[in-house]
Chains A and B, each alone.
Chain A
Amino acid sequence: MSIVFDRPHALVDKPLHYCPGCTHGIIHRLVAEVIDELGIEGKTVGVSPVGCTYNNYEYFNCDMVQAAHGRAPAVATGIRRSLPDNVVFTYQGDGDLAAIGTAEIVHAATRGERITTIFVNNAIYGMTSGQMAPTTLVGQVSTTTPFGRKPELHGYPVKVCELLSTLEGAVYIERVAVNNVQNIKKAKAAIKKAFELQLAGKGFTLVEVLSTCPTNWGMNPVKSIKWLEENMMPHYKLGVYKDISAE
């Protein structure tokens, strides 16, 4: 018998600190699998955000740099401009990318910076225990929308893929999910394509991954996936929002 499925080399063999059923773990593995399959671990530099995955530099075997909250795209720009032949990615959450880091992600994209951003959207601030995120849905309860998010008080959720796809520097923008095995495989394909386009020198690529937060949503892992399917997916439609490689 041969091994059909095992931990990818680019993922450090140590326990992840994430909550039970949090799908960050899946997304980390997908990024690592793509790095293995493209054979780029030795020349990849990743940038960790601030949030639940602030120390995911412990989980990737490639060189890693931890960035201030929201500034990963800027740090990645500094790395990219210093190492033209390397592969550079950022891994960011919705607070990091779509709240404090909005300017950085917009300008990295519009500069066409040759980096790949893995943007994990779980509609909540996880690390700091459940506050409203820019992607928190209308009506969704959080520790800062205790009676549900109300547009007249808390504004509307941000659709990042739609927002960034208007920028010419962005060459590939897709939203995926990891709620079931089929979508996990599609998510991996999207991440792989994003890295491939970076390797081909095309420009800025981003994959938005809908993800769960059992702890702060207040549900068990299985119910969390159901909640994501019934509430997030209708609002954050999966699909390709930009793909110049098709031209």
Chain B
Amino acid sequence: MAKVSFREDRCKGCGLCVEVCPKKIVELKKNLLNAKGYHPAGVTDMDKCIGCAFCATICPDCVIKVEK
């Protein structure tokens, strides 16, 4: 099992993480706006996360921490 945590206040809603997640479990939270006015990214189904850290690797803002 792996765990991914997002510093939602740092996210700029660029969407790059959404593209690269091999499990397609990362998405921008349409129902949430962070202080900067962006829809922050988040994981929909943590159980499917394999901890590959693709999302964190392509994130330009160090929003994502990955544990495994």
Interface set of A (CB-CB < 8 Å, partner B): 1-7, 11, 15-16, 18-26, 29, 178, 180-181, 184-185, 214, 220-222, 225
Any A CB within 8 A of the CB of B58: yes
Q: In the assembly, what is the distance between CA of A221 and CA of B16, in Å?
A: 7
Are B10 and A15 touching (Cβ within 8 A)? Answer: yes
Chain B's nearest CB lies how many Å from the CB of A33? Answer: 10
Identify A4's interface contact among B13, B19, B53, CB under 8 A. Answer: B53
Q: In the assembly, what is the distance between CA of A184 and CA of B16, in Å?
A: 13
Q: Which residues of A contact B1 (CB under 8 A)?
A: 1
6 pairs from A and B in contact (CB 8 Å cutoff): A4-B2, A4-B53, A7-B65, A15-B10, A23-B60, A29-B60
Interface set of B (CB-CB < 8 Å, partner A): 1-3, 10, 12-16, 19-20, 38, 51, 53-54, 56-62, 64-68
Question: Chain B residue with minimal CB distance to A179?
Answer: B58
Chain B's nearest CB lies how many Å from the CB of A27? Answer: 9
Q: Which residues of A contact B65 (CB under 8 A)?
A: 3, 5-7
